[in-house]
Amino acid sequence: MTGTRFAGRRVLVTGASRGIGAATAQRFAAEGADVAIVARTLEQHDHLDGSLLATAALVESFGVRAAVIAADLADGDDRARVVPAAVDALGGPIDILVNNAAAAMYAPVAQFPLKRRRLIFEVNVHAPLDLAQAALAAMVDRGEGWIINVSSGTARPIPNSTMTMYGASKAALNRMTLGLALELAGSGVRVNTVEPRAAVMSEGATALIGETVRADQIESMEEMVEAIVALADCPADFTARTCVSLDLIAELHLIVHALDGTPLPPVSRSPVSQ
C-alpha cells in the first residue's frame, strides 16, 4: 500500500540505477511521490547489478509515476536536459531534488591524473549545482522546495591519501550547499547535505571495499534512506545543515522504515568503529 506523506510531490533522484539512489527512489514512491530517476545505466551495467529500468519497475509498483532519464552527469550538455526532461515527464516542477550520483575513484594524490580529477568534480560538484540551479526558480516561485546533496565523511581530513580527491570534491559539495542555503534563506527552499556515519553496502561499495569492512562499521541502507527522506520533509528553517545519517535519526527521534514504508523494529547500536 502506498503512503501519502509525499503524495502530489515530484522528486528527482540522481544515481538511481542502484544503491542509495535506487533505494531512495523506492522509498519516495512508497510514500506517494512521483519520481524521476537519473543514471547512465538504462538496462544493465557491465558488472554491477541494477539499472534504471529495474528501479522504474520498483517505483511503479507503488502505483505512482516513474520518469526514466538516462544521462551522463559528467557531461554539461547532457545534464542540462535532465531537469527539463523530468518536469515534462512528471507534469510539473520538481519539489524535491536528491543529488546522490557520485564519481568515486581512489588513488594517491601524487599520481592522480587530471582526467579523473575533472571527472570527479564534474559529477560530485558541478552536476549537483547545475541541477539545483535548473530546479530553483520554480521552487522559489512556489515558496518551497527541498534540495538534498548526498555527501561523505571523507570530506573531513582522514589519514588516507587515496581518498583525498574524492573527499575534496565532497568538501566542496558541503561548502557549496551551505552557500546556496544561505542565499535562499527565507525563500522556503531548504538545502542540506547528508552523509552516512558508517559504510552503506551498496552494490558499488561492496565491489570496492566489501572485503575490508567489519560489521560494526556498517549502517543499513534503510537508515541512510530514512535520513534522506527526513530532509525532504523538514520545515523551512531546517536548512544549511551538514547532517550525518544516524545522528540525524537520533536528533529527530525517527523510526527507521523499510523501503516499502513499513516501520522496522528498533536497532540497538554501539558507536561505529573507525
Distance CA 136, CA 146 (A): 10
- Report the largest interatomic distance among the alpha carbons of the chain, rounded to a whole angstrom: 53
Which residues make Cβ contacts (< 8 Å) with residue 81, sequence separation at least 6?
71
Place of cell 537519473: 38
Q: Checking DSSP bridges between strand 66-70 and strand 189-195, what pairing results, if any?
A: unpaired
Q: Is the dihedral of CA 94, 31, 29, 46 positive or negative?
A: positive
70 phi and psi angles, rounded to 5 deg: -85, 120
Distance CA 26, CA 62 (A): 9
Q: Could you tell me the three cell numbers for 53?
A: 529500468
Residues forming the active site: 166
Assess contact for 141 and 131: CB atoms under 8 A. Answer: no
171 phi and psi angles, rounded to 5 deg: -65, -40
Distance CA 253, CA 231 (A): 14
